Structure formats: C-alpha cells, structure tokens
C-alpha cells in the first residue's frame, strides 16, 4: 500500500468550528488532511457533527472559524455527493438522473452519453438506463445515486450514511461494490457512518468523533490491503480492527458533555 505521506493532498480542513444560531456548537477545531486515494470514514455517535463536517466540505455551510482549502485549482465536477436518500428525480429516467451534474454545467445528454453509460455500467445498471426510479429497489436507487456522484470523475466523493436505510445483505453487497468501484476509478472518499463494521470494511482511515461539541478524538488506520472481500470480513484482522474501532466509539460516547 502506498505510504500515505506520499499521496498528493486533495483537501485540508484546518481548525474548523461551526456554531448554529441556536447556540449549538456542532463542531469545534476539526482538522483533517484528505489525500488522493484515501477512504476516510467519519465514525461517531448521533449529533457529533459528522453531517455538518460533510456539509462544510461540500461548501453547503460556511465555517464559523477555520478554513477548508482544496489543493490546486478547484473545478466544477470536482466534488460528488451521495446522501442517505437517493434523491433521484422521479420524473426522469435513470440515465437522465445520472446526466444531471453535466446538465447543470450546460452539457447536452448527447455530449456526455458515453460517460453516463460508463457510470451506469460501473454500478451494474446499464440495462436499467431507461427505467424510472419508481421501478427500482432501494439498493438500485442508491447505485444510481452513486453513478450520478461519480459521473464527472470528481476528485472527492462525499457520502453521508448512504446505506443506512438498506437491509443488511444489500448493504454488504453495496459495500463490496463500492470498494470495487473505488479500485476501478481510483476516487477519494469521505464517508459518514454509525457502523463500526462498515467503517472497518471500507476505510483505510477511521476518524472517530465525539459530541457536544463535535470533535475528533481518535484516528485509526486500517492497513489491510485493497481489494477487500468476504475473506477479509471473516478474518481475525478484521475482527481486531472492529474491536479497536468499537472501543474508540465507546470512549467517544462516554466523553463528558
């Protein structure tokens, strides 16, 4: 595995705090370097500011203090976002949903058809390109949402508990497929989850957060090589990392308010 210090920076979060008008301090002093090829999970109890951190990185919120800087010049399409809900347009076909990020940049469907179909192929849905979201299962809708987030080949993909609403088997399958996709397109991911198991399976870095105020309390490295598969999921190494992450999460939940 590549030494993390050798990977190029994608984004730097420096001393970021976020308070809301309600007086809630959602995040305090968050610092994080995201490097090319990272799969980082933000793991923590409810209310520790995981979603707020993603929304700040996505520039949907402004920090109260601190700053977030992209390495190099940021271009349209550098960022892809996947939310817990697939948030598809119900009136549009699968392929037209995936076209959306290009459409917002003024590209016609014909201009980017190849990229759209390639993205659908990567998530295994090329046969459903003319279907409507209502015709798809929850897992398939999430695949469309992932295809839409990666169709522009962004430098960074943010995922906010994308599989939390899915049944366990579908979730495992999508975890496997997400790692396969990452290997194929070499993307960088920041992923929010409550699940120790999911964070260990997917990530090479797990950032454990505590609440009130939201902050990082520990960073764990999962140095198992990719690709990871069912053999990894049942290995002693996986179990040991899960124990370590679970201990860190318990500590996060015991931190005094």
Ligand X SMILES: Nc1ncnc2c1ncn2[C@@H]1O[C@H](COP(=O)(O)OP(=O)(O)OP(=O)(O)O)[C@@H](O)[C@H]1O
- Chain residues binding ligand X by CB under 6 A are 20, 22, 24, 26, 44, 46-52, 194, 214
Kindly tell me which of 10 and 54 has the beta carbon lying closer to ligand X: 54
Q: What's the rounded Cα separation, in Å, for the pair 8 and 5?
A: 8
Do residues 209 and 256 lie in contact, with contact meaning Cβ atoms separated by under 8 Å? Answer: no
Place of tokens 């305090």: 28
Residue 93 preceded by cis peptide, ω within 30: no
Kindly tell me which of 5 and 22 has the beta carbon lying closer to ligand X: 22
Task: Please list, in sequence order, all residues whose beta carbon lies within 8 angstroms of the beta carbon of residue 250, skipping any fewer than 6 positions away.
Answer: none
- Report in angstroms how near the CB of residue 126 gets to ligand X at its nearest: 33
Residue 197 host element (H or E): helix 196-202
Task: Please list, in sequence order, all residues whose beta carbon lies within 8 angstroms of the beta carbon of residue 171, skipping any fewer than 6 positions away.
Answer: 163, 198
- Report in angstroms how near the CB of residue 132 gets to ligand X at its nearest: 29
- Report in angstroms how near the CB of residue 22 gets to ligand X at its nearest: 5
Written as six digits, the tokens of 61 are 């919120």
Kindly tell me which of 26 and 98 has the beta carbon lying closer to ligand X: 26
- Report in angstroms how near the CB of residue 46 gets to ligand X at its nearest: 3
- Report in angstroms how near the CB of residue 105 gets to ligand X at its nearest: 28
Kindly tell me which of 22 and 234 has the beta carbon lying closer to ligand X: 22
Kindly tell me which of 13 and 48 has the beta carbon lying closer to ligand X: 48
Written as six digits, the tokens of 171 are 């979730």
> Regarding beta strands 205-210 and 215-221, do their DSSP bridges make them parallel or antiparallel, or are they unpaired?
antiparallel
């Amino acid at each position: 595995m590549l030494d993390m210090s050798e990977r190029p920076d994608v984004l730097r979060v420096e001393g970021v705090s976020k308070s809301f008008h309600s007086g809630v301090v959602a995040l305090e002093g968050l610092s994080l370097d995201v490097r090319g090829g990272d799969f980082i999970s933000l793991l923590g109890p409810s209310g520790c500011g995981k979603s707020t951190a993603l929304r700040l990185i996505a520039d949907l919120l402004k920090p109260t203090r601190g700053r977030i800087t992209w390495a190099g010049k940021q271009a349209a399409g550098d960022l892809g976002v996947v939310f817990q809900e697939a948030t598809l347009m119900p009136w549009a076909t699968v392929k037209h949903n995936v076209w959306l990020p290009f459409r917002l940049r003024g590209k016609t469907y014909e201009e980017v058809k190849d990229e759209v179909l390639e993205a659908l192929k990567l998530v295994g849905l090329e046969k459903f390109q003319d279907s409507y979201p209502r015709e798809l299962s929850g897992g398939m809708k999430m695949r469309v949402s992932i295809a839409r987030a990666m169709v522009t080949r962004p430098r960074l993909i943010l995922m906010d508990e994308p599989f939390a609403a899915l049944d366990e088997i579908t979730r495992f399958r999508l975890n496997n497929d997400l790692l396969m996709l990452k290997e194929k397109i070499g993307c960088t991911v920041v992923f929010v989850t409550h699940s120790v198991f999911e964070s260990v399976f997917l990530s090479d870095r797990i950032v454990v957060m505590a609440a009130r105020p939201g902050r990082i309390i520990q960073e764990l490295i999962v140095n198992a090589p990719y690709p990871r598969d069912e053999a990894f999921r049942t290995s002693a190494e996986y179990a040991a990392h899960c124990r370590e992450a679970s201990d860190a999460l318990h500590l996060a939940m015991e931190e005094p308010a």
